[in-house]
Amino acid sequence: MIQETLNKIREEALKRINESKNSESLNEVRVAVLGKKGSLTAVLKGMKDVAAEERPKVGAMVNEVRSEIESLMENARVKLETLAMNARLENEKIDVTLPAKGIKMGHRHPNQIALEEMERIFTGLGYEVVEGPEVERDYYNFEALNIPADHPAKDEQDTFYINGDILLRTQTSGTQVHEMEKGRLPIRMISPGRVFRSDTVDATHSPCFHQVEGLLIDEEVSFSDLKGTLAEFAKELFGEDTKVKFRPHHFPFTEPSAEMDVSCFKCGGKGCRFCKGEGWIEILGCGMVHPHVLEMSKIDPLKYKGFAFGVGLERIALLKYEIDDMRLLYENDERFLEQF
C-alpha cells in the first residue's frame, strides 16, 4: 500500500522534474514533494499509523525515494543552469573582428582655427600669449590708454558699464597696460579674448566678439619693425604673395597710428566682389605706443619704445574662410561647423 503511494509520488516527481523548464518550476516540485505540506512529507507524517515493526522498512523506502528525487532534482538544476548560462553567452557574444563604430568628432570653430593660426605665427616670432580680464576698471580700458573721461573716443564705443568705474572691456588693449605694469621688459605678447560693445546683431556686428591684441616694447623699436612684423604675419596668414599697405589713422594710445590693409587674396589686388573692387582689405589697427601711455605705466619713454596692434578675430575668420555673415559664427549650427 505504502509502496504503491511511494511509486506514484516518485513517478509524478520524475515527470515534473523532467518537464521543468527553469529553476522556478523545479522549486515548485521541491515544495510539492519535499516541502512541509509535500506529498512525501505526508507519508512520513503517516508513519505513526504504520505497525512498529514495519517502520524501519517503510522509513528506509521513503528515504530512498527522497534521496533519489533530491539527486535528480540537483542534476536537473545543474542542467538548467548550464542551459541558461549558454543562452546568456550566446546572447552576449561579441564579434571582435567587426569594424569599430566611427566616433563622431567635434569640429574646431573657425574662430578657434584662426586664433591657433595667429598664436602659431606670433609664438614663432618669440611672442608670449597672455590673457587679460573681461571685467575691467575704467582706468585699464580707457584712461591708461590715453582716453580721458572727456575724450570723444569714449563715446565711439558703446560701453556696458557695471557701475561708474567697472565695465565689460570694449577692447583687449587694456591687457597692454596690465603687462606694462608688471615692469618686466622687454615685452613681446599677444593677448586674445572676448570684448563687449552694446551693438545690435547684424551681419558685421555683435555685442560680444573677439580681438587679439599685440604689444612689443624694447629699447630700439621703430615703425619699420612694426611694418616688418605685421607684413610677415600677413604673409603667413594669407599666403606668401600677400602685400600690405599702411594708411594713417588715429588711435589715442598710439602715435603715429595706422590701419593695415592686405592685398586681396582672392583676386591678388585687381579688384573683385570679395574686396568690393578695392584690391585691398583692411585687417587691423596699429601704431607706435604713445609716450604718454608708456609713462602712465611707469616705463621711461626716452629709453623704451614700442608698437601695438589690434586685430578682430572674427574678421580674420570670416575673411580666411570666405564667410559672409558674422552671425554664422555664433549660431553653432552643426551643418555650418561641419565644414571646418
Residue number with CB closer to ligand DAH (125 or 337): 125
The window from 126-134, 182-190, 265-273, 302-310 that contacts ligand DAH (CB under 6 A) reads: 302-310
Identify which of 340, 311, 309, 312 has the alpha carbon closest to the alpha carbon of residue 326: 312
Give the range of 27-35, 71-79, 102-110, 284-292 binding ligand DAH by CB under 6 A: 284-292
Residue 211 and residue 223 in contact, taking contact as beta carbons nearer than 8 Å: no
Residue 308 touches ligand DAH, criterion: CB under 6 A = yes
Q: Which three cell numbers stand for residue 180?
A: 606694462
Least distance from ligand DAH to the Cβ atom of residue 141, Å: 10
Identify which of residues 17 and 260 has a Cβ nearer to ligand DAH in the complex. Answer: 260
* Total of chain residues touching ligand DAH, rule CB under 6 A: 11
- Binding ligand DAH (rule: CB under 6 A), the pick from 193, 229, 309, 329 is 309
**Residue (of 50, 69, 68) closest to 58 by Cα position:** 50
Grid cell locating 216 = 612689443
Residue 132 interacts with ligand DAH (CB under 6 A): yes or no: no
Contacting residue, 175, 254, 263, 297, with ligand DAH by CB under 6 A: 254
Q: How far is the CB of 173 from ligand DAH (least distance, A)?
A: 4
Using CB under 6 A as the binding rule, whether residue 287 contacts ligand DAH is answered as: yes
Least separation in angstroms between residue 220's CB and ligand DAH is 19
Question: Around Cβ 209, how many Cβ atoms within 10 Å?
Answer: 19
In angstroms, the CA 230 to CA 239 distance is 13
Cα 8 from Cα 6, distance rounded (Å): 5
Q: Is 285 in the site for ligand DAH (CB under 6 A)?
A: yes
Closer CB to ligand DAH, residue 278 or residue 282? 282
In the complex with ligand DAH, the residue whose CB is nearer, 211 or 242, is 211
The minimum distance between CB 330 and ligand DAH, in angstroms, equals 19
- 173 contributes a contact to ligand DAH by CB under 6 A: yes
Q: Taking Cα atoms as reference points, which of 302, 313, 312, 301 lies closest to residue 180?
A: 301
Query: Binding mask 210-249 vs ligand DAH (x if CB under 6 A, - otherwise)?
Result: ---x------------------------------------
Nearest CA among 190, 164, 195 for reference residue 176 = 190
Stretch that binds ligand DAH, among 11-19, 26-34, 107-115, 305-313 (CB under 6 A): 305-313
Distance CA 43, CA 39 (A): 7
Residue nearest to ligand DAH (CB): 310
Identity of the residue, 76 or 261, whose beta carbon is nearer to ligand DAH in the bound complex: 261
Could you give the dihedral angle defined by the CA atoms of residues 137, 142, 143 and 147, in that order, rounded to the nearest 10 degrees? -170
Neighbours of 320 (CB within 10 A): 15
Residues 39-78 interacting with ligand DAH (rule: CB under 6 A):
none
Q: Where are the beta strands (DSSP E) in the chain?
A: 128-129, 135-137, 166-168, 187-196, 208-218, 244-251, 254-263, 280-289, 305-312
Using CB under 6 A as the binding rule, whether residue 310 contacts ligand DAH is answered as yes
Element of type H or E holding 233:
helix 223-238
- Residue 38 vs 310, nearer CB to ligand DAH: 310
HSE-up (13 A, CA, CB side) for residue 281: 26
What is the contact surface with ligand DAH in residues (CB under 6 A)?
Answer: 171, 173, 213, 251, 254, 285-287, 308-310
